[in-house]
Structure 1
């Protein structure tokens, strides 16, 4: 059975203020490429991803300077005021028979094994969507609401059945577009694509992801992402040598 058409959607219109940098975090560099380039190239290299759509801020002055901006497999759309707006702008360009694989611009360490297991789910009859995630392993604390600058513990949360939602998140493009529109119209905060699908009553599967699939949000995340990317390059090189 063939895999359905899968299009990667990358919302990249945010500013990433927590990085305290002079530019949006997706344009910080790891090695000789920006975070966004690492992410886009990783997605484009997967054989089952037909093309990549990136949603950019209308005032973005950085993307056009990147070599990847002229890639034949890449198209751009205008981003919106929120992640949900950016994603829906990209979804509106997709066909009825396409799947949207939505991935954070600042997750350059996603590996092809995780993409394989996620995309392979489209072969299953009745499959309606899934996300990469990791089970919560740490003790979870709920802070008191309305606390001062120094948060205070209200209570400990039961971590049973709790998962950290990651990306990519894979859904039928038109079903996701309708779910986002319905959620926004109802005033629901759409924190990720799965939250919109959940609101619309769809069942969302959880697929255990490699913990290296981190999101770069703070300066301390950069060295860790650099390490994971270096490890990935070494493993690819070793695999190539073994196959020769």
Structure 2
């Protein structure tokens, strides 16, 4: 089963993201982009939450985001409206972090992302090997998270430009940078980590079982 549908602390992993955005009534719509052949999604698991579903996912994150942006016009969204793109695999997102991002960027000409300064020492290892080639400086490095917040029109055109030039970028800020703009970073949260490895599920479950403001 895809990880976004795994049950953690009594709910599907995706439920936590939908609930966080549902708690932010200032948003006009939450759009869930699914792969056309996704047979695991069951709307009944998310009853009571505001969201729409479109089965327009593409072959990559970049393609799925672009398709989702195009679908937003159906809901009355304009190029000047803000959009926040979030990974379903980050269930630790909270309404407070979403609102912090929006408050920091709502008057910005470009937009930006939540991120954390890199804390660990970074080692470069050649592909396929296990020998350390060198230690990389972590000075001024930040680890990108989501949500990532940009104007719909700017993000759409940035992704289209990246596609035309043969690039498949791994986050929205990369596309914005590729188009020559300078996104901002807003302090994120360790709680908002991406569930990636098998052992991450136990950690996420422990976090989600506690209130977001628990010490």
- Pair in the same fold by TM > 0.5: yes
Q: What's the CA shift for 1:114?
A: 1.5
Gaps of 5+ in 2: 73-77
Indicate yes or no: 2:165 matched with 1:186.
yes
Q: Is the 8 A contact 2:9 2:209 kept in 1?
A: no
Matched, 1:142 2:153: no
- Alpha-carbon offset, residue 185 of structure 1: 1.1
The reply to whether residue 76 of structure 1 matches residue 20 of structure 2 is no
Structure richer in strand, relative to its length: 1
CA distance in 2, matches of 1:98, 1:77: 22
Q: Which has the higher mean CA deviation after the structures are superposed, 155-164 or 223-232?
A: 223-232
CA distance in 2, matches of 1:117, 1:191: 23
Work out the number of aligned pairs and report it.
209
8 Å CA contact 2:30–2:50 kept in 1: the answer is no
Q: Which one of the candidate residues 206, 209, 215 is aligned to 1:230? A: 209
Structure 2 partner of 1:238: none
Aligned to 1:93: 71
Distance between the aligned counterparts of 2:212 and 2:118, measured in 1? 28
- The answer on 1:118 being equivalent to 2:101 is yes
The 1-side partners of 2:38 and 2:48 are apart by 15
Q: In structure 2, what is the equivalent of residue 52 of structure 1?
A: 30
The correspondence of residues 20-31 of structure 1 with structure 2, limited to 5 A, is: 23-31=1-9
Distance 1:230 1:63 in 2: 23
Question: Which string of whole-angstrom CA distances, capped at 9 and with x for unpartnered residues, describes residues 110-142 of structure 1?
Answer: 122211111113432x43111000001111001
Asked if 2 retains the 8 angstrom alpha-carbon contact of 1:57 and 1:80, the reply is yes
Conservation of the 8 A alpha-carbon contact between 1:39 and 1:108: yes
Shift of 1:67: 3.2
C-alpha distance 26-139 of structure 1, shift in aligned 2 (>3 A): same
- State TM-score, norm by structure 2: 0.90
TM-score by length of 1: 0.80
Residue pair 1:98, 1:172 contacting (<8 A) in 2 also: yes
